[in-house]
Structure 1
Amino acid sequence: MAELKSLSLILLFTLLTTTIESRLTTNFYSKSCPRFFDIVRDTISNKQITTPTTAAATIRLFFHDCFPNGCDASILISSTAFNTAERDSSINLSLPGDGFDVIVRAKTAIELACPNTVSCSDIITVATRDLLVTVGGPYYDVYLGRRDSRISKSSLLTDLLPLPSSPISKTIRQFESKGFTIQEMVALSGAHSIGFSHCKEFVNRVAGNNTGYNPRFAQALKQACSNYPKDPTLSVFNDIMTPNRFDNMYYQNIPKGLGLLESDHGLYSDPRTRPFVDLYARDQDLFFKDFARAMQKLSLFGVKTGRRGEIRRRCDAIN
């Protein structure tokens, strides 16, 4: 029964995605803002050069915006005295500021060229794709024409985003509830190929026994996080081998006990996900192909079009 339910959700998502793609187009701004792609590309390139953590930060921002309730830029809205927005929920407080900053910069430049034309959600989606390419990742087409959400509430995120400490079974259920297969979940986990995680997300686990860590790696992590209680900003690269390049080394690390987070170890300890880890560890081209397809699918999840949303003048505030 559970398998039938999951299959029904996947089929429903496929139908919805097809409908959404018919509304969105890859050349949506070709007439209304012909320099849209150039402006985004120039903005993200300058930011990535000066702040190399921007790519990982923006990919993470994209996921935290899209996965809970759809790609609608609700993650960018600031809280007010009357509302605690998504970005101030406990799970989003650790999102790096570089991701927010690069979107604000792009929006500012686009508003000067094409006022009240381009949505913040479209900017996030294109910036994510372009930044992924700058660090060696795959290119994929982005469909445009999204509108921005008029709602952003921290309370709407309850138990919707996977945690680094979540059991793999729970993470699988969360992805399947959104219409994603187990293989797509494993492919999207490859985003951990770049970026870093704060010590608080793994320090307790690395101190335990039989946690799947390579012993020398565990000792190195303990040393790197030894001052964590006094400095909670301490962090470690998700991929210690090629931390600034998007590749399949993340999957090669996991079987060797070099995965950083509990969720990484979980991918190899569960028989449902382990074959895909091995597959992507052997074949980077296949990983890139599947990652690109899954990212494109995620970018279409819960998209708002027409009157269901708006084009914000500022990404951090509803009009």
Structure 2
Amino acid sequence: MAKSMTFLIVTTLLALALAPLCFSHKTDGGYLYPHYYERSCPKALEIVKSVVAKAVAKEARMAASLIRVHFHDCFVKGCDGSILLDNSSTIISEKGSNPNRNSARGFNVVDDIKTALEKECPHTVSCADILAIAARDSSVLTGGPSWEVLLGRRDSRSASLSGSNNNIPAPNNTFPTILTKFKLKGLDIVDLVTLSGSHTIGKSRCTSFRQRLYNQSGNGQPDFTLDQSYARQLRKGCPQSGGDQNLFPLDFVTPTKFDNNYFKNLLASKGLLNSDQVLVTKSERSMELVKKYAENTELFFQQFPKSMIKMGNITPLTGSKGEIRKNCRKVNS
């Protein structure tokens, strides 16, 4: 009887010890847990959501910006908050890279979130985790899918300007180049097409797609994979010279709603960026996925969280690596 009771106690304790692993994900850097801050900062998710909601209500475009900054962070040194670091005596900021100079924004919103979290639970929630949570909340607030964010990332004490310039897919990259950049991060063609679907919200600057309107082939000819009536509309606000900063919706049908119209636009040859349109002109496999998502919103909404979680798991810093920054813009002194 005593042996049976001892066995029962040991078995129960072992099960309790292993329970967190059932709700975690092993990455190259360690384990991430959805309830990482449940005890140390129980209001963390609520605080992030509140600040993001206010920012998106003030400017709808901010939702897309917060998703993009998480994406741009993960593609450089992993999801470590390195994109948030400003220039300093020891840091050359990633914010000055070609991909980030014109499109990475929302840093003030991240500052507001961090300030609120530091007041509630000082030196507890990482900036890298803030980006992951804010990206999920941005999707939900614009009508997109939700998911349980895995947490426990720590913040990098360094940045990589060269990595930011070379690793982030660019609007004028070829399809093979874009796919290679995804594969180098452990992401596949399904993730590529799915994550590109975040372009269902947000805007892009004239300078990012002007080449398609006037000189795609280098001989003065426009990009004929772009619907020409749509191209004429774009030329009105994006002249051959000037107007670099003029903004255009990535999805002109429902620019502030997270839905599948982005994929429908691609099939109609109305993808704004070259990196969008190549999904249907340069790969049969990606074209098949575009068609499926265009036909079935639910299918897109099912896969998007999976790809976002997968992206969020790119080489995070965990355990004793990195730090928890007090200010997302600079390393702790």
- Fold similarity call, TM over 0.5: yes
Match of 1:79 among 87, 104, 119: 87
Distance in structure 2 (CA, Å) of the matches to 1:30 and 1:261 = 41
8 Å contact 2:40–2:121 — kept in the other structure?
yes
- Aligned to 2:166, the other structure's residue is in SS state coil
CA deviation map 1:3-50 (0-9, x unaligned): xxxxxxxxxxxxx96346972211111111111111111111111111
CA deviation map 1:155-207 (0-9, x unaligned): 23342111100000111111112111111111111011010110011112112
Distance in structure 2 (CA, Å) of the matches to 1:258 and 1:281 = 13
Distance in structure 2 (CA, Å) of the matches to 1:156 and 1:303 = 16
Following superposition, the deviation at residue 220 of structure 1 comes to: 0.1
* 2:266 is the alignment partner of 1:254: yes
* 2:294 is the alignment partner of 1:281: yes
Name the aligned partner's letter for residue 35 of structure 1.
K
User: Which residue is equivalent to 2:169?
Assistant: 162
8 Å contact 2:48–2:134 — kept in the other structure?
yes
Distance in structure 1 (CA, Å) of the matches to 2:138 and 2:165 = 29
Following superposition, the deviation at residue 231 of structure 1 comes to: 3.4
* 2:46 is the alignment partner of 1:33: no
* 2:323 is the alignment partner of 1:305: no
- Aligned to 1:273, the other structure's residue is in SS state helix
Following superposition, the deviation at residue 64 of structure 1 comes to: 0.2
Name the aligned partner's letter for residue 291 of structure 1.
F
TM-score normalised per structure 2: 0.87
Distance in structure 2 (CA, Å) of the matches to 1:169 and 1:109 = 42
Distance in structure 2 (CA, Å) of the matches to 1:82 and 1:29 = 31
User: Which residue is equivalent to 2:102?
Assistant: 94
Distance in structure 1 (CA, Å) of the matches to 2:94 and 2:223 = 36
> How large is the Cα RMSD of the aligned pairs?
1.7
User: Which residue is equivalent to 1:141?
Assistant: 148
Distance in structure 1 (CA, Å) of the matches to 2:200 and 2:109 = 20
Distance in structure 1 (CA, Å) of the matches to 2:297 and 2:159 = 37
CA deviation map 1:53-82 (0-9, x unaligned): 110000110100012221000000001245
User: Which residue is equivalent to 1:182?
Assistant: 189
* 2:323 is the alignment partner of 1:316: no
Distance in structure 2 (CA, Å) of the matches to 1:141 and 1:233 = 36
User: Which residue is equivalent to 1:112?
Assistant: 119
8 Å contact 1:192–1:239 — kept in the other structure?
yes
Seen in structure 2, the aligned counterparts of structure 1 residues 171 and 96 have a Cα distance that, compared at 3 Å, is: closer
Q: Detail structure 1 runs of 4+ shifted over 6 Å in the superposition.
A: none
Q: Percent identity?
A: 36
- The structure having more radius of gyration, on CA atoms, is 2
Distance in structure 1 (CA, Å) of the matches to 2:211 and 2:223 = 13
Q: Structure 2: 5+ residue runs without aligned partners? A: 1-23, 215-220
Distance in structure 2 (CA, Å) of the matches to 1:215 and 1:242 = 20
Q: Structure 1: 5+ residue runs without aligned partners? A: 1-15
